[in-house]
């Protein structure tokens, strides 16, 4: 039995963005990191050339700052066949936190064959595009007792703040 997904996700994020303390890393677009097998230990995991820079059908990764944590979670879940979802919500106002609408979830675990790649990659691209169109900065503006959120409060200590944790400054 391997590490819990939380630990594996943290290790993946840490490796993906690893750099010496005195160096700054910047991947614009994000697929520069995802398409680097030295950084992304999930590179080509599905055997569909899904990360190959030479594959025109490869999944692009161009999230903005609000989409980034969602994109990384969705990519990781897709690679491991885990469920992933997000709440479609508005931005909220000063007087009211954002309001969540229906949650969208998906589970995709493609088979490793060329025929399936022609079906899976467009479906994954479509989901990521939908997610990017629905997730925005308001997604992080939630009341502490809100159960319809994609984030949850964490204790602010070294043990809780690990690679992959999202901190939204209130």
The whole-angstrom separation of Cα 112 and Cα 157 is 41
Q: Which of 94, 104, 92 is nearest to 137 (CA)?
A: 92
Spatial contact of 40 and 13, defined as CB atoms under 8 Å apart: no
Tell me what pLDDT residue 99 has: 61
* Top-confidence range, 8-12, 92-96, 107-111, 166-170: 8-12
Element (H, E) at 73: helix 68-80
Residue pLDDT, tens place only, 76-111? 999 988 888 887 776 666 666 566 666 665 555 545
Spatial contact of 151 and 142, defined as CB atoms under 8 Å apart: yes
| Average pLDDT in the chain | 81
- Give me 57's structure tokens: 């059908």
Specify the pTM: 0.84
pLDDT > 70: what percent of the chain?
A: 78
């Amino acid at each position: 039995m391997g590490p819990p997904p939380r630990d594996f996700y943290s290790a993946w994020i840490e490796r993906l963005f690893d750099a010496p303390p005195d160096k700054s890393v910047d991947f614009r677009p994000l697929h520069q990191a995802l398409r680097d097998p030295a950084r992304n230990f999930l590179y080509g995991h599905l055997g569909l050339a899904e990360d190959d820079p030479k594959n025109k059908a490869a999944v692009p990764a161009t999230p903005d700052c609000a989409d980034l944590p969602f994109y990384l979670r969705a990519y990781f879940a897709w690679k491991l066949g885990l469920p992933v979802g997000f709440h479609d919500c508005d931005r909220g106002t000063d007087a009211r936190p954002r309001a969540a609408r229906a949650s969208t979830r998906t589970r995709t675990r493609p088979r490793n064959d060329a025929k399936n790649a022609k079906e899976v990659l467009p479906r994954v691209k479509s989901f990521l595009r939908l997610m990017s169109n629905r997730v925005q900065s308001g997604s992080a503006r939630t009341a502490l007792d809100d159960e319809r959120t994609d984030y949850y409060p964490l204790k602010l200590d070294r043990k809780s703040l690990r690679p992959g944790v999202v901190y939204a400054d209130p």
